[in-house]
Structure 1
Amino acid sequence: MIDVLIIDKENTIAPAIDAGEASVLVYDDEIRALHAAEAMRPDIVVLNYTVREQDTAAFIALLTRASKRSKIVLIAENLTDEAVIECLMAGAKGYLQLSEVDKFINKLLQAVQAGEAWITRRMVAMLLDKLRSHAVCSG
């Protein structure tokens, strides 16, 4: 059983999760969710981008520090590549389009729990480019 903490003001994610595969807690308040993540250290934190909008990457960094063992996954609709990369660099392990939650959320949870990232190959290439540019700048 995977322990999942969902941060979602719209309750669009939890109904799609198979209750036989995951134990789910849902928070619609990001501060309470941050405290819960720190106290409970769930396997996976699923964050709806609409909770923090442009401040999502900073919030992911806070979540990462609060619960180092938790893997964070971002759910959003049509984010720019740059916004997704920023969230991945902040600590997210995956990104899923909101319109694909019903179809892929359970596969995503299994993959991320197994240590995989849930991003497209194109995102992998962009992330590698970003990491290389950081290495060149700092080296």
Structure 2
Amino acid sequence: MALPDVRVLIVDDHHVVRLGLRALLEGEPGLEVVGEAADGEQALSATERLRPDVVVMDVRLPGRSGTDVCGEIVRRWPQTHVIMLTSYLDEDLVLQALMAGAEGYVLKQLEGDALLKAIQAVARGDAVLDAATMRRLVARVRRAEGDSDRAAFRDLSERELSVLRLIAEGMTNAEIARVLSLSEKTVGNHVSTILGKLGLNNRIQAATHAVRHHIERHAPGPA
């Protein structure tokens, strides 16, 4: 038995863009354009009236933003999937769209076949990001992780970082003292200072904190 057509709502404030998208989608078997909207309020009204399977929506709309409208659509009609379509590869907008519930974020510069495949994939319940957007987003996340890691140790001196790294490796104060050529008392003082600066209660918490934030990237290993 043939599957029902994927019902698509097009949302873009440019009439020419809507015409182009409609022409592209209406020529594809298995897709049906059920309506168009030029702004966020029209998009909400059309979604309520037509209950499309997929909304293809420009991220930049007059009045309410595309991400704001996306969030409301996903909240009110969870069976409707949203693809954000944009001319701009903006990492902040990508994150906002995904947090709002968009299941696809693609560039208008995509080839027509790529957009068609994205609509079909989202209708199946898959998430879609084009390769360029994915690379930028991964790089953004990695930068954020690096910033978070550095902030996790920013109050520690170089010596304290070295001590914390060895704590994370499971060493006792006596073992750390031998490795760093310090007295055991000095190591104990460093441990107390580290716990105080990080707001932690014991060595287990310190070791966990160190591992979670990749201390090996910030503190040299023993010579």
- TM-score, length basis structure 2: 0.51
Is the CA contact 2:40–2:66 (under 8 Å) kept in the aligned structure 1? no
Structure 1: segments with no counterpart, 5+ residues:
134-139
Q: Deviations over 1:77-131 (max 9, x none)?
A: 123112111111001000110111524111111111111111144447867998x
Identity of counterpart residues, as a percentage? 27
Partner of 1:39: 49
Partner of 1:109: 119
Partner of 1:15: 23
Partner of 1:3: 7
Is the CA contact 2:40–2:63 (under 8 Å) kept in the aligned structure 1? no
Structure 2: segments with no counterpart, 5+ residues:
149-223
Measure the CA separation in 2 of the matches of 1:79 and 1:101. Answer: 16
Q: Deviations over 1:48-104 (max 9, x none)?
A: 123248822212111212321100000001231121111110010001101115241
Is the CA contact 1:16–1:101 (under 8 Å) kept in the aligned structure 2? no
Partner of 1:51: 61
User: Taking structure 1 as reference, are residues 58 and 19 closer, same or farther at Cα in structure 2, changes over 3 Å only?
Assistant: same
Is the CA contact 1:2–1:22 (under 8 Å) kept in the aligned structure 2? yes
Give 2:86's aligned amino acid.
A
Measure the CA separation in 1 of the matches of 2:127 and 2:9. Answer: 18
Instruction: Decide which moves more: 52-61 or 20-29.
Output: 52-61
Higher RCO, Cα 8 Å, sep 6+: 1
Aligned length: 131
Q: 1:78 aligns with which of 88, 97, 109?
A: 88
- TM-score, length basis structure 1: 0.78
Give 2:32's aligned amino acid.
S
- Divergent runs of 4+, >6 A: 127-130
Instruction: Decide which moves more: 108-117 or 98-107.
Output: 98-107
Measure the CA separation in 2 of the matches of 1:32 and 1:53. Answer: 11
Measure the CA separation in 2 of the matches of 1:85 and 1:54. Answer: 17
Is the CA contact 2:40–2:64 (under 8 Å) kept in the aligned structure 1? no
The offset of 1:30, in angstroms, is: 2.6
